[in-house]
Amino acid sequence: MKDLADKLRELNIGSVKENEPLANHTTMKIGGPADILIEPSSIDNLQKALELIRSSNSKWTVIGRGSNLLVSDKGIDGAVIKLGSGLDDIEVEGSRVTAGGGLSLVNFAMTISRKGLSGLEFAGGIPGSIGGAVYMNAGAHGSDISRILEKAYILFEDGTLEWLTNEQMKFSYRTSVLQEERPGIVVAAVFQLKEGNKEEIVAELQKNKDYRKETQPYNYPSCGSVFRNPLPNYAGNLIEKSGLKGHRIGGAQISELHANFIVNRGNATAEDVLGIIQHVKDTVLDLHGVKMETEVEIIGRK
């Protein structure tokens, strides 16, 4: 991988690090090393990096701001591409807004609310990037990304860039076409919002942000919600009814505040978290007959 890292540096595509601990790049503060961690400084440089990675027959993985992610203690093979600075622009044209895939969703929601644009109030306090939010159709408080997205600019595996409309994204609950049918990287997205009363919009956003702080654990690192809601049930309620709040393996624990969160109480490993996930699945199925599915993406070496 050293040859690939050197070639990437020669292209001057942005930051290139070798054997970088991914615990430094996930909200859970868990994860072994990436052979190479790349933070491209533009869409063009991302495209160049992906072309070089593919020509070297190396594996590659994309992360955004590292939320909704559990990385193996053994790390990730090949190149890990992190979207951030350089792909975090905002362009406002009336009520139509374009945002870079590496932009913080929280920062984006706050910025546009202060401009009197409504539609992202639900995102108050949701961690992660625009790219990740579009990829998994992030949502809360009865709304989600699919309600406001006009189109997304996707870099596909073969190096081509294409705009996909809302309909082509095939959104459903925490799902899009990018997860299995057409894997790709969200490099930008266009949102159609509505003009409204700035004070009311900001207040609603803050209310949602405050609600998350009151009901979800912010005192320890976490990856966000671990399980999808098996509607009409809610994951947190089922886990709590199963008597699992506070259940601990090693440094990982089911939050005593919200049962659909697993927190890192200090030096937790991915194996600790996976142990809890399996215990929850087994217990809820046994007690309630409900099959639990993870929302968190689990990646890395086995």
Residues noted as catalytic: 174, 225, 295
Alpha carbon 42 to its chain's center: 20
3-state secondary structure of 111: helix
Structure tokens at 31: 């994860």
- Which pair of structure tokens corresponds to residue 189? 């997205």
Residue 274 CA to residue 215 CA, distance in Å, equals 23
Q: Taking a C-beta distance cutoff of 8 angstroms, is the pair 226, 295 a contact?
A: yes
CB 214 within 8 Å of CB 208:
no
Q: How far lies 276's CA from each of 114, 211, 251, 261, in Å?
A: 40, 26, 11, 11
Q: Is 33 helix (H, G, I), strand (E, B) or coil?
A: strand
